[in-house]
Structure 1
Amino acid sequence: MTRLLAPSATDRDYWAIVDNLTRRGFFGIGAGVAATAFLAACSSSESATPENAETFEFTRGDEKLIIPTDPQNVVALDPRDGLELSILAGYPVTAYPSGAAEHLRREVPNATGVEIFAEGASDPNFEYISTLGADLLVLSAGWWDTGSYGNDRMQQIAPVLPVGKDFTPEWRKVMVDFLTGIGRSDRAEEVLADYDAHVAQVRPTVEQLMTGKKVAFVAAAEDQIAWFQNDFRTAVAEDLGFEVLREGPDLRVMLGPEQFNRLEEADVIFALDRSATGSVYTSPTWLRLPAAQAGRVIPFDYYKAAGYALTAKVLVDDLAAGVKR
């Protein structure tokens, strides 16, 4: 496999924020503002007016990008926003990163000519990108907006379509706005109807189990816990009828061990461990939490922490299975 691109800049920089705040000891609600501000900077309003033409003008803030109306060779350059929104748009994806989640891989036809390339940890390999014959490159808007990945050079290879807003609880709006902007609003209606039908099927199986109970979403970050209060996961959980434990509007807050008691009201905790130095989930203050003592701390799949209708649908199943344990 050929090295192409680093993992999603939004993912990488988000966790850099978490790690930085951890080291600096910013435990309070204000810590969530920094991550939220970063994510807001990684997105912008999008509008376009495709017509019966080979190309159309796709507008993002001050940017005006010329995009093919009906691309035939689409390369998703990141395994999250770029790949999922390409699939949802009905684009013929001919190459995507090996780091893509399994539930997204299943949506790409395993036909001859579809290339799965290795992700690297450095700058884009423009020479390799140019061999793919793409007529459209799709990647995370958060990645594009950093401006550090050679946007001009990339546009010399093929038109580039920046998409998405990672971790957003407003994933429905972001997805619908994008699909409407490229003239595919019918796709938005179709995938949302499918998602809502799935929620309607699963929700009755968990309502009685979760009546009067609260869920929380956390991740280990060195010797702290990142408590996610308003993101993609919490939005999907609320679609299922779960009551999400939160203290305010921030995307997340950081908790030191002496503050873990703020999670005492959670009956079920979905926990992600991305710590490189060991888990805080074995600390005495964590183990005293009612959810921990009751065995109601459920491992969470990182690749379902953000996304759109396809990821939301499989997340519904994971959340339901978790509370049924």
Structure 2
Amino acid sequence: MNRLKKRSLYFTPLLSIALILGACSNSDENNTGTETDENTDSEQATEVTLEDATGEVTIPADAERIIAPYMEDSLLSLDITPAAQWAIGTSVLDYLQDDLADVPTIEWNLPLEMTIEADPDLLIFSSEAAMSEGSADDYKEIAPTYVFTDEEGADWRKQIDVIATLTQNEEKAEEVLADYEDTAAEAADQVNEMIGDESAAMVWVMGDQFYIFEEQRHAANVLYGDLGISVPSFISDLGETESAWNPISLEAMADLDADHLFLISAEEEAGLARLQDSSLWQGLPAVQNDQVYNITDSSHWNLTGNLANRKTIEDVLAEFGS
């Protein structure tokens, strides 16, 4: 059996960066003009009107109690602490808990009564389908509501852009996105130095089932897109990423030809021992070459976002460098 390289994922969120706004002038006339412009901007900034999936919406620009289920990554990236955080029962986004430990939870589907009790100033949904407990009109009776289109809601960069517009944080968004691109580009160079054109794949064990990350599934966007890691033919042959993520049988993994494997699983998952003990798994190239990396926290690998992706990049660099 191969030696698994294990590391417990623990992280410190990015430090907040304050935005400094100011204006200077050299004459009384310029001062007067500047003050007039600032007053005008202040009046215009009381609300934001834009199109969402439901049509034209007007959102107050001074919202403080914001709930954006499963988009807490984007909120925190803009230095916004949500009024309540996404949860399924007691399960939360583990990788964000250093920032969200004291934030109350709200069920993932935002039941109307629970949403009323949370007393939000602004609700943000990733898609119309995310409003499973009521209509947009139902939620708009509780608080101003913005609903992403499916395409935009699935794009974490677009999430940050839109939320920044809703909260007047455009400069912060530009800064965050530019810094991420720089971080990813630098990491891609390091990965290239470490493994060259060798390929990698990701296997997630959940319960007694196994899932393979297709080319555009969650953290695969980071590995194959941002870091430029080669895609093994097994992954390419899976085709386009569908909305439904179906498990794969152990037997179907027989041709998994990746040079490196990220095995994402908590130690107590029922399927982990069955996978590792199987002769099929032990015969895979990455296992034979002792290039399997055990990741025990799946939370930031199973979605994409500024903070999640940074954690994934840290994991990849740490494992390839170990």
Q: Under TM normalisation by the shorter chain, which class is it? A: 0.5 to 0.7
Determine the structure 2 residue equivalent to 1:35: none
**Pairing of 1:152-163 with structure 2 (within 5 A):** 152-163=137-148
Q: Are the equivalent residues in 1 in contact too, given 2:78–2:164 (CA < 8 A)?
A: yes
Provide Cα deviations, 1:51-81, integer angstroms capped at 9, x if missing partner. 91433334224433332222122234x2x32
1:290 paired residue among 255, 273, 285: 285
Query: Are residues 1:131 and 2:131 paired?
Result: no
Q: 1:136 to 1:180 in 2, by over 3 A?
A: closer
Query: Are residues 1:278 and 2:263 paired?
Result: no
Determine the structure 2 residue equivalent to 1:43: none
1:198 paired residue among 183, 200, 212: 183
Q: Are the equivalent residues in 2 in contact too, given 1:224–1:254 (CA < 8 A)?
A: yes
Determine the structure 1 residue equivalent to 2:217: 231
Instruction: State the one-letter code of the partner of 2:289.
Output: A
Q: Are the equivalent residues in 1 in contact too, given 2:82–2:103 (CA < 8 A)?
A: no
Determine the structure 1 residue equivalent to 2:229: 242
Provide Cα deviations, 1:214-242, integer angstroms capped at 9, x if missing partner. 01122236455434222331221232232
Q: Are the equivalent residues in 1 in contact too, given 2:263–2:292 (CA < 8 A)?
A: yes
TM-score by length of 1: 0.66
Q: 1:101 to 1:290 in 2, by over 3 A?
A: same
Once the 2 structures are TM-superposed, how far is the Cα of residue 91 of structure 1 from its aligned partner?
3.6
Between Structure 1 and Structure 2, whose CA radius of gyration is higher?
2
2:299 is paired with a residue whose SS is helix
**Could you list the runs of 5+ residues in structure 2 that have no partner in the other structure?**
1-42
Q: 1:179 to 1:72 in 2, by over 3 A?
A: closer
Determine the structure 2 residue equivalent to 1:302: 298
Determine the structure 1 residue equivalent to 2:19: none
Q: Are the equivalent residues in 2 in contact too, given 1:171–1:232 (CA < 8 A)?
A: no
Query: Are residues 1:251 and 2:250 paired?
Result: no
Q: 1:84 to 1:297 in 2, by over 3 A?
A: same
**Could you list the runs of 5+ residues in structure 1 that have no partner in the other structure?**
1-50
Instruction: State the one-letter code of the partner of 2:219.
Output: R
2:221 is paired with a residue whose SS is helix
**Cα distance between partner residues in 2 of 1:130 and 1:169:** 26
**Cα distance between partner residues in 2 of 1:217 and 1:167:** 25
Instruction: State the one-letter code of the partner of 1:310.
Output: L
Alignment size in residue pairs: 264
Instruction: State the one-letter code of the partner of 1:145.
Output: A
Q: Are the equivalent residues in 2 in contact too, given 1:267–1:290 (CA < 8 A)?
A: yes
TM-score by length of 2: 0.67
Q: Are the equivalent residues in 1 in contact too, given 2:74–2:159 (CA < 8 A)?
A: no
Provide Cα deviations, 1:137-191, integer angstroms capped at 9, x if missing partner. 23432xx425421234332221223358699985435544554576544233211
Determine the structure 2 residue equivalent to 1:117: 104
Once the 2 structures are TM-superposed, how far is the Cα of residue 286 of structure 1 from its aligned partner?
1.8
Once the 2 structures are TM-superposed, how far is the Cα of residue 97 of structure 1 from its aligned partner?
4.2
